[in-house]
Chain A
Amino acid sequence: MLVPSFEMHVAKSVEDAIKLRSEFGDDSSFYAGGTELLLVMKLGLTDLAHLIDIKHVEELSSISIDESGVRIGAAVTYREIENNPILKSDHPEFVQMISGVANLRVRSVGTLGGNLAFADPASDPATFLLAVKGELEIGSVNGKRRLVPMAGFQTGPYQPDLAENEMIVSIRLPRNLAGGIVVHERMKLKERPNITVAVFAAVANDKVTEARVAIGSIGLVPICIPEVNKSLEGASRATLSERLRQAAEIASTEITLFDDANGSVDYKRHLVKHFVEKVARRAIEAVLLN
């Protein structure tokens, strides 16, 4: 399979990259790891005349950590995340999730920003970031920057909430998880996950004070269903099993699913039910027993 011909442009800064993108418009794309973009180009699903290489922009390629949180440049690779000692010690669940994305070769060059900008419905990172209230720093023309929540960023399959002259500059994780923990699980039979569930849970006085259940890789976009979260709040050890059953039931009926090669809607409802109950139980029991 051949990649249609294009011209490569190397961006020197975020502003430079955005300028190039504004200039070439629809006929261009940012390019970093290429693990998603080159696939769709090879499959003939898109025909771009210009690629803008953003890998050499320092701002996009660094990881930094301060009191406010973790900042991961959009062009940081999965491999760099896996090997970052501070992330490994402070956010082991995040690193563990990243180390199961795709395969070794994809993780060597694929980037976190690329994953989110591509807005593939099957995304472990997007689902995880929903559960921990991650944020994205978006850059646009004239040096403008804004922070947006991960929630709402994916408006549909392969549809990120980005204007043509905007780009993801960095991804932000909270510094600590405010007394809670996050648990992530995926089920994967082939290259992409069939379902991803990430659950954040916090507890005070032996009761769940906050629960965020993110379900991804199975519906149109990764989602958090408020009724599911609400059904878990206030749960104690005595009521946990009942609440988990309720949450799983609501999740499996509220989520929008579709038949495809990964299974029927019925089968997928079963997966949602099973994994929401299982992963939420792991998260809540871990904080309740602490």
Chain B
Amino acid sequence: MSEPVEKFLCVVNGKQQIMEVPDNTLLLDWIRTDLGLTGTKQSCEVQVCGVCTVLVDGVPVSGCTTLAYEARNSNVMTIEGIRGTAFYQRAEEIFMRHSAVQCGFCSPGFILTVFTLVNAGRKLTEHEIKQALHGNLCRCTGYKSIFEAAIEVINSEVGLGK
């Protein structure tokens, strides 16, 4: 039913990739298995925990419950794609300083979510930041330090609103 498979272009972290998978392929599986980009994690499988967060055309989605079909002819950004940017370096330094990384499993999802908030380009209130981050779960329960680190990153990039 899903054969033959058509080929599509997809830009992943700035690099052109050929996507040649059946309609029922999940974006997370394509990214991790076909592309070998394992910074995007796999866990709850029901888009609750946020470790599989990736950006499709700048929009954060759960890779576990998004079809690769949705990324055809689109731009996908994973945690590997923002490494080396000034944002990442600052975020990494701030997360380390706040001890906002313990086992590190949730960190890619948190950092990408913060990246999305910064990219919105406007000041955010602490309430808005909390509302955005509550969709990412930390198994080590280090929420306080993660939240403080996120606030500092966002404040250093776009500022905090009231």
Contacts and interface: CB of A to CB of B under 8 A. Distances in A.
A6 B134 contact: no
A38 B64 CA distance: 10
A108 B45 contact: no
B87 interface: no
A38 B65 contact: yes
A2 B60 contact: no
B59 A103 contact: no
Interface stretch (B8-16, B20-28, B95-103): B20-28
Interface in A242-284: none
B50 interface: yes
A103 B61 contact: no
B135 A5 contact: no
Contacts, number: 75
Given A3-B24, A3-B26, A103 B134 contact: yes
A2 B132 CA distance: 28
A42 B23 contact: no
A79 interface: yes
B67 interface: yes
Interface in B115-162: 116, 131-132, 134-135
A249 B14 CA distance: 60
19 contacts: A1-B64, A3-B25, A5-B1, A5-B2, A5-B24, A6-B24, A7-B2, A8-B23, A34-B66, A35-B65, A38-B67, A39-B47, A49-B1, A99-B131, A103-B47, A104-B60, A104-B131, A105-B60, A105-B62
A4 interface: yes
Nearest to B48: A191
A228 B70 CA distance: 45
A51 B53 CA distance: 24
Nearest to B113: A104
Q: Identify whether the interface residues of A are mostly helix, strand, loop, or mixed.
A: loop
A103 B135 contact: yes
Contacts of B62: 105-106
Nearest to B116: A104
Given A34-B66, A104-B135, A109 B1 contact: no
B59 A39 contact: no
Contacts of A190: 48
A133 to B, nearest CB: 28
A100 B25 CA distance: 29
Contact of B135 (A8, A34, A39, A102): A102
Contacts of A100: 131
B26 A108 contact: no
B86 interface: no
A4 B1 CA distance: 11
A42 B113 CA distance: 25
Interface of A: 1-8, 34-35, 38-39, 42, 49, 51, 79, 99-100, 102-106, 108-109, 190-191
Given A3-B67, A104-B116, 9 more contacts: A4-B24, A7-B23, A34-B66, A39-B47, A39-B65, A51-B23, A102-B47, A103-B47, A109-B70
Contacts of A108: 59-61
B142 to A, nearest CB: 19
Contacts of B59: 79, 108-109
Contacts of B67: 3, 34, 38
Given A5-B24, A104-B60, A35 B45 contact: no
Interface centre among B45, B48, B65 (most CB of A within 10 A): B65
B69 interface: yes
A8 B1 contact: no
A285 B26 CA distance: 49
Nearest to B117: A104
A38 B24 CA distance: 10
Contacts of B1: 5-7, 49
B30 to A, nearest CB: 12
B79 to A, nearest CB: 15
A114 B91 CA distance: 36
Nearest to A99: B131
A108 B65 CA distance: 13
A69 to B, nearest CB: 28
Interface string B52-87: 010000011110111101100000000000000000
